[in-house]
Amino acid sequence: MKITLSTDSPASAKVDLVAVGVYAKGAARDPAVKAIDRAMGGGLLSAIKEEDFRGEVGDVLKVPSRGKVGARWVVLVGLGKGTPKASDARVVAVRGAQAARQQRTLAVAIPSDGPDAVRAAAEGALMGAYKYSRYFTGSRKPRGGIRAAVVLVDDKKAPALLRALEEGVATAEGINLARDLVNAPPNDLDALALADAARKACQEVGVKCTVWDKKQIEKHGMHLLLAVNRGSKTEPRFVHMTYKPAGAKRRVVFVGKGLTFDSGGLCIKPPKSMVDMKCDMAGAATTIGIVWAAARLKLSVEVHGIIGATDNMSGGDAYRPGDVFPSLDGKTVEIINTDAEGRLVLADALAYARELKPDFLVDHATLTGACMVALGRWTAGLFANDDELGELYGAAARDAAESFWRLPLTEELKETLKSDIADLKHTGDGYGGSITAALFLQEFVGSSKWAHCDIAGPAFLEQAHAVGPKGGTGFGVATGVAFLRALARGRDA
C-alpha cells in the first residue's frame, strides 16, 4: 500500500472512502463532520440520527456520499469518551480500511496534526488493510481492500510529519510481517522455514543473519534447545540477526521463542488446546519484525535478534518428565512438564544473548496460560529485573498503544524451582505460573538489564479485538520499535 500526506480537507479529498473519528455524542460539533454534512446538504447528520450513531467505541457508520463531497463513501468511527489522543488516529485508520469492500483508496482525518497522530494513522491504514489470504483460491480470494491511503494534514511537506509517516509505515509492515509468520500453517512453517524467513527478511534490509543447524547447536552446547527438539523429525535452528549501524551508542538484544508447533510433547495437550499452537512462535515473529523495522528506519541503535526454533513433538526419542539436561549457562535442569518447553529454548537463547553484553535484553514469548488467566487475552505480562528498563518499556508500550501490565519477580517463589537432583526444576508448584516461568528465565540472563514479555494472550486472537485482527496480531512489534526510537532519540538520558 502507498501512503502519502495530503492537505485536502475531509470534505474535498478525492478518494473512495474518507474516515473520520467521532467522540461520544460529539458528531454534531466535529468540524470534519460539519464540513462533510454541509457538502452533503445535511445528509450526514441525518444518517447519524437515523442510524443512532453515538460515537461509542466500536461504533462504525458507513454512508454513501452525495453533493459536493470528494469521497464516494464516508466512514465515521466511534472513539468513545475521554481525552482525545494521537493513538485515536490508528483506530480511525484501521476501521476505515476494514470498512472497504470494493473501495481501493482511503483518506484518514486525524484528530490532531502532529507526528504521533500521523505515525498512528499510517500504522492503522496498513494494519486495517491486512488480510492473510495465501491459501484462498477461486471465489475465496479477496477482491477488495485498500491499496492507497492519504493522511490529511495541514503541511504535507513538514519534515517531522514525513519522518513520522515513514516510521508508521515501517512499523506496520513489520507488524504485518510478523502476522504472516504467525498465521502460516505449521506444515509450511517449521524451524527450517522460520530460519529461512528470518534470513530473507534480513536480506531485504541489509542485515546480517547467521543460522546454525543442529550440528552447530550441539557444538555450542545448547542442550535445552536440543532436548525439546528430540521428539521431532525436523532439525532445530538457531538464528542470530545483527543490525549494527555506524555510531550506535546503545545495544539492544531481542530474544524470541520460536516453537513452530507445540503438541505438548509427552505431556500432550488436549486437542482443543493444540489447534492454534502454530502461534507458539509468535515471539520469534515479533523479534523478526522489530529487527526488520529498525533496519528499515536506520535507527541509530545496535539491534540483535536471537531465535531458538524447533517444534515440540512426541517422537520415540522425546524428552521426558524426570530427565535432567545441562544448559548453555552450565546449570542443570530437571524436566517436570514437557509442555513447558518454551522456557527451555529461551534459557539457552538468553544465555547466548547475554554474552553480547547488551545495554538491554528483551525477550518475547507466548509462554504461559497463567498470564492469560491473570491478565486476560488482550494484555501481555511485562517483567523486568531493572526498574529503568521496566519504565522505559512501559512508556514505549503506551506510545504504541499496546497493552502491557508489569508483574513482579517475586523472590520467594524461587523456592518452588529447587530440584532435589539438579540445579533447577523448570516449573514451580502450579501457583504464580507466569511469575515462576519468568524467574526460571532470570536464572540465565546473568547481570543483564532484562525484560520478559509474556505475550501468550494478545499474540493470537480467537476473535478480532480493538485494532488486532483474528489470528496473528504482530503484538509487541510496535512497542519494540517505539522503545528503539526512544533510545535513538536519547529519551533515556
Q: Based on the number of CB atoms within 10 Å of its own CB, is 178 exposed (0-12), middle (13-18) or buried (19 or more)?
A: buried
Give just the sign of the alpha carbon dihedral 478, 402, 361, 228.
Answer: negative
The count of other CB atoms within 10 Å of the CB of residue 68 is 12
Half-sphere exposure in the Cβ direction for 178 (13 Å, CA): 35
Dihedrals phi, psi of 415, to nearest 5 degrees: -60, -35
The residue assigned the cell 555450542 is 220
Q: Which of 14, 85, 269, 320 is catalytic?
A: 269
Contact 349, 255 (CB under 8 A): yes
Q: Measured in whole angstroms, how far is the alpha carbon of residue 339 from the centre of its chain?
A: 24
Question: For residue 260, what are the contacts with CB-CB under 8 A and spacing of at least 6?
Answer: 186, 189, 190, 191, 193, 194, 278, 280, 281, 309, 310, 311
269 a catalytic residue: yes
Work out the angle at residue 446's Cα, subtended by the Cα atoms of residues 445 and 451, and round it to the nearest 5 degrees. Answer: 40
**Residue 31, strand partner residues:** none
Q: What angle do CA 354, 299, 96 make, to 5 degrees?
A: 115
Q: Does residue 150 come out as left (phi exceeding 0), alpha (psi in the -120 to 50 range) or beta?
A: beta
Residue 161 cell numbers, joined? 510529519
**Cα–Cα separations (whole angstroms), residue 492 to 361, 392, 407, 484, 486:** 15, 7, 22, 11, 7
270: three-class secondary structure by DSSP: coil
Nearest to 371 by CA among 410, 344, 345, 407: 407
Helices (H) and strands (E) in the chain, counts: 15, 19
Residue of 237, 278, 343, 425 marked catalytic: 343
Q: Which residues are catalytic?
A: 269, 343
